[in-house]
Amino acid sequence: MCMVRPAKPAVASTLHPDVGMPAEPTPPEDAAPPAVVHQFTVLRGMAVAVVIETRDWYLGLLQAALARVRLEGQN
């Protein structure tokens, strides 16, 4: 006759924090956020004379103002 020993219940070792997937994916460190480009349109009459594209809003505003002054002198 063969005796079968009852299996011992498995006991978990200390509980570890869940290291699975984070709740929100984090962007990669080397990826830069997309650059925002501001557009400033300078009109001469009803026609578009110049379109200024820049990432710096204040610099674009200044360039557009200077272009308006320059164009007003060239009637």
The residues near 60 (Cβ < 8 Å, ≥ 6 apart) are 38, 39, 40, 52, 53, 54
Query: Does residue 75 or residue 24 have the better pLDDT?
Result: 24
Residue 14 carries which DSSP code?
Answer: S
Residue 75, pLDDT > 60, answer: no
Q: What is the pLDDT of residues 6-26, one digit of tens each?
A: 666 666 566 566 666 666 766
pTM: 0.51
